[in-house]
A and B are shown apart, each in its own frame.
Chain A
Amino acid sequence: DSGVTQTPKHLITATGQRVTLRCSPRSGDLSVYWYQQSLDQGLQFLIQYYNGEERAKGNILERFSAQQFPDLHSELNLSSLELGDSALYFCASSHLQGNGYTFGSGTRLTVV
């Protein structure tokens, strides 16, 4: 157990739908990062939050949004889903720069 909790582990939904992925960071970590992993794109950085504030944005589609709540958990919202959104979505957390990330086990999203 890495200490980073992601729910749900698996999600199957239809095109056009909206889903919410949840992440609880490791205790004491203020930063949360979201990554998408797919076979053709590899690991793509989506967005980072630090203590509730958006800190950095990567290749995140406009249909996707995220937030970090006062208790530091984060949610990634994916809407108007397309088949190409099927991927593994990872959350990671960190405390100090240079310590790297601690990853969760991911949410596998399948859009049918």
Chain B
Amino acid sequence: AQSVTQLDSQVPVFEEAPVELRCNYSSSVSVYLFWYVQYPNQGLQLLLKYLSGSTLVKGINGFEAEFNKSQTSFHLRKPSVHISDTAEYFCAVSVKAAGNKLTFGGGTRVLVKP
């Protein structure tokens, strides 16, 4: 079975500073990788996804993530955050050969300070 570990439960960051959210996964087979964002009192919204090809994936709102197969990681980055990026971020994985079920990490809460 696959699993996802988000290494930081909370990340405080100042406005206009860069942020990196770490995600590591475990799977014995090929996977698809996703990052979702959850704003307060809302559902989850897809930020970006890695299916195949280029290991650098660009998403919405200026976010990008890099897939590293050897390190089984899929870290999310943004070069300059805004107050509006305050939210919880979830990394998720699905196994290519086993339907579409997503397994989520525990989430990282990002607090952007002015």
Contacts and interface: CB of A to CB of B under 8 A. Distances in A.
Interface of A: 2, 4, 31, 33, 42-43, 45, 48, 50, 55-56, 58, 90, 92, 94, 97-106
How many B residues are at the interface, by size bracket?
20 to 34
B101 A45 contact: yes
Interface of B: 32, 34, 36, 42-46, 49, 51, 90, 92, 94, 96, 99-107
A62 B102 CA distance: 22
B101 A48 contact: yes
Given A98-B51, A100-B36, 17 more contacts: A2-B43, A4-B43, A33-B100, A33-B101, A43-B104, A43-B107, A48-B101, A56-B99, A58-B101, A97-B99, A98-B32, A100-B102, A101-B100, A101-B102, A103-B43, A103-B44, A104-B43
Nearest to A56: B101
B58 to A, nearest CB: 15
A90 B90 contact: no
B77 to A, nearest CB: 19
21 contacts: A33-B100, A42-B107, A43-B90, A43-B104, A45-B103, A50-B99, A92-B44, A94-B100, A97-B32, A97-B96, A97-B99, A98-B32, A100-B36, A100-B49, A100-B92, A100-B102, A101-B46, A101-B100, A103-B45, A104-B43, A106-B43
